[in-house]
């Protein structure tokens, strides 16, 4: 099953070939008073306990998307054979994603590596003509920064041929890996759009954590590489993924962080480590927990064991750098709903939450698909809708703490499109009591950006004025205990719209 995971990106590249032949204390002092940084998310970021803070000390949340391709034989993000890169970044921003994870291979740092499969017709990608792969990456970073987004660079593979279990191969030794990490850290030094580097994607057996073997101990390698990155740019975050197996317990490649409790990553510059897990559904591979008779109620315990405890024990921030699914099976739908809930809705918890980047923007990921459909333009509103409650456009740091709002009645609402056939769609709204006291009634409001209208609605009463809709509880589902949930569903038309932001009021 794990070998299949490693083939996913290679399959995406093959499809393309067929289609087209931390802010340090010293730096903070130097920058002047904190009020000089007005916008949430500004500057370089650093960690404090389980949170990530911006240059002004405001908590921020990574809520983003993977856009792959630089790690493949195309040596550039995919989809530029269909669209202009700026329009894609703008669309990501418009959907509420605030960060782009950019996978790459060391091949793009070789002299003269140029991108393949970019369409320049009709004025598309005009400013990318004649550039190397690294220079294209520069343009992507620059435009993301103009849009107010952040970028995390992901050393995905040693070369474009495929994933490696360890951080080095015979052809790409550790010295090359570290030299290239330092080169990228230096290249983007002073450009705080790039907030950090994911040191290596999905280490797996024989990679170990805490075993002490210099050749296989990923934790020790991450310390060597992390210190090298910080020697070139001490303000970057260092993202460290897990392994596959720890003390005989196996999980997803890169998804096992059990060893952190005993063997934490310790770097020369404090407050820079963010641990990263990957988690997937059955469209990628089967795992024992999917057949547990209590599924999906068992999943929070699984996640707690593998990586969630790091956040819950306030050890360090945790970033789910990859998670995705084709969303075709009921099991996968339940898995994604459970994981999104586990990641903590932004409305309730603000930036005191898990961080994430969904896999993927690209539709050509063979075992997950993407947020975009195969035309590289249309949004899969069902899949995107699952993520609505954990998006954090603009890096807002508000929200409550663990009690989700103290004694004041509070609720959150999550809007999920369950089916969309173009001329119409069905959606579900889940209301959760995020306070510590029962609520007796609730009201949910939203405004569509298009011309959608409710055609039928059940388990609530509604009014619609223009694009604005208000739904109030029915007699049987207004009372919700603390931590409990209720819901309603509706049909609407036309389909194809974006998922709106919801406001929930409780009494």
The residues annotated with a catalytic role in the active site are 202, 322
273 DSSP β-pair partners = 238
**Please, are residues 396 and 40 in contact by the beta-carbon 8 Å criterion?**
yes
Nearest CA to 359 among 13, 2, 68?
68
Q: Where are the beta strands (DSSP E) in 41-163?
A: 46-48, 51-53, 59-60, 63-66, 99-105, 150-157
- Cα–Cα distance list, 187 to 22, 36, 129, 468 (Å): 16, 26, 21, 47
Give me the sign of the Cα torsion angle 242, 230, 33, 62. Answer: negative
Q: Which residues contact 439 (CB under 8 A, 6 or more apart)?
A: 409, 411, 433, 478, 479, 480, 506, 507
Collapsing DSSP states into helix, strand and coil, what is residue 13?
helix
**Please, are residues 504 and 413 in contact by the beta-carbon 8 Å criterion?**
yes
Q: Which residues contact 14 (CB under 8 A, 6 or more apart)?
A: none
Encoded tokens for 303: 């996640």
Count of residues making up the chain: 507
Encoded tokens for 251: 């999980």
DSSP string, 208-257: BSSS--TTTBHHHHHHHHHHHHHHH-TTSEEEEE-BSEETTEE-STT-B-
Within 10 Å of residue 36's Cβ, how many Cβ atoms? 11
- 424 burial via Cβ count (<10 Å: 0-12, 13-18, 19+): middle
d(CA 250, CA 232): 35
Q: Which residues contact 122 (CB under 8 A, 6 or more apart)?
A: none
Give me the sign of the Cα torsion angle 22, 237, 96, 445. Answer: negative
**Please, are residues 97 and 63 in contact by the beta-carbon 8 Å criterion?**
yes
Collapsing DSSP states into helix, strand and coil, what is residue 412?
strand
């Amino acid at each position: 099953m794990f070998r299949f995971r490693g083939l996913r990106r290679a399959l995406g590249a093959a499809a393309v070939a067929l289609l087209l032949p931390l802010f340090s204390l010293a730096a903070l002092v130097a920058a002047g008073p904190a009020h000089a940084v007005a916008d949430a998310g500004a500057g370089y970021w650093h960690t404090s306990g389980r949170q990530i803070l911006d240059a002004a000390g405001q908590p921020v949340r990574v809520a983003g998307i993977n856009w792959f391709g630089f790690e493949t034989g195309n040596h550039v993000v995919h989809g530029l054979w269909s669209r202009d890169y700026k329009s894609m970044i703008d669309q990501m921003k418009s959907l509420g994603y605030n960060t782009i994870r950019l996978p790459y291979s060391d091949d793009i740092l070789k002299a003269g590596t140029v991108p393949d499969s970019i369409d320049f017709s009709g004025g598309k990608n005009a400013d990318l003509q004649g550039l190397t792969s690294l220079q294209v990456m520069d343009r992507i970073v620059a435009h993301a920064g103009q849009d107010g987004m952040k970028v995390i660079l992901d050393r995905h593979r040693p070369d474009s041929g495929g994933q490696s279990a360890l951080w080095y191969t015979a052809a790409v030794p550790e010295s090359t890996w570290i030299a290239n990490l330092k080169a990228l850290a230096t290249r983007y030094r002073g450009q705080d759009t790039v907030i950090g580097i994911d040191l290596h994607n999905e280490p797996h057996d024989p990679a170990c954590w805490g075993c002490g073997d210099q050749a296989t101990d990923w934790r020790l390698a991450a310390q060597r590489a992390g210190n090298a990155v910080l020697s070139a740019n001490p303000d970057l975050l260092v993202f460290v993924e897990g392994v596959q197996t720890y003390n005989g317990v196996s999980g997803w490649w890169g998804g096992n962080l059990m060893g952190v409790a005993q063997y934490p990553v310790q770097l020369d510059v404090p407050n820079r480590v963010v641990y990263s897990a990957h988690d997937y559904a059955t469209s990628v591979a089967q795992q024992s927990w999917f057949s547990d008779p209590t599924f999906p109620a068992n999943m929070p315990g699984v996640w707690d064991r593998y990586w969630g405890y790091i956040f819950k024990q306030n050890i360090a921030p945790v970033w789910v750098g990859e998670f995705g699914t084709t969303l075709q099976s009921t099991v996968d739908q339940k898995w994604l709903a459970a994981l999104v809930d586990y990641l903590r809705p932004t409305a309730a918890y603000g930036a005191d939450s898990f961080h994430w980047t969904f896999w993927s923007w690209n539709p050509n990921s063979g075992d997950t698909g993407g947020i975009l459909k195969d035309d590289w333009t249309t949004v899969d509103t069902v899949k995107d809708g699952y993520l609505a409650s954990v998006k954090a456009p603009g890096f807002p740091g508000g929200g409550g703490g663990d009690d989700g709002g103290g004694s004041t009645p509070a609720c959150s609402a999550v809007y999920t499109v369950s089916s969309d056939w173009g001329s119409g769609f069905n959606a579900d709204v889940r209301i959760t009591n995020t306070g510590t006291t029962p609520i007796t009634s609730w009201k949910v409001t939203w405004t569509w950006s298009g011309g959608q209208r409710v055609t039928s609605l059940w388990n609530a009463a509604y009014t619609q004025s223009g694009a604005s809709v208000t739904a109030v509880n029915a007699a049987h589902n207004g009372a919700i205990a603390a931590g409990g949930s209720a819901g309603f569903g509706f049909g609407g038309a036309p389909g194809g719209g974006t998922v709106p932001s919801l406001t929930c009021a409780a009494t």
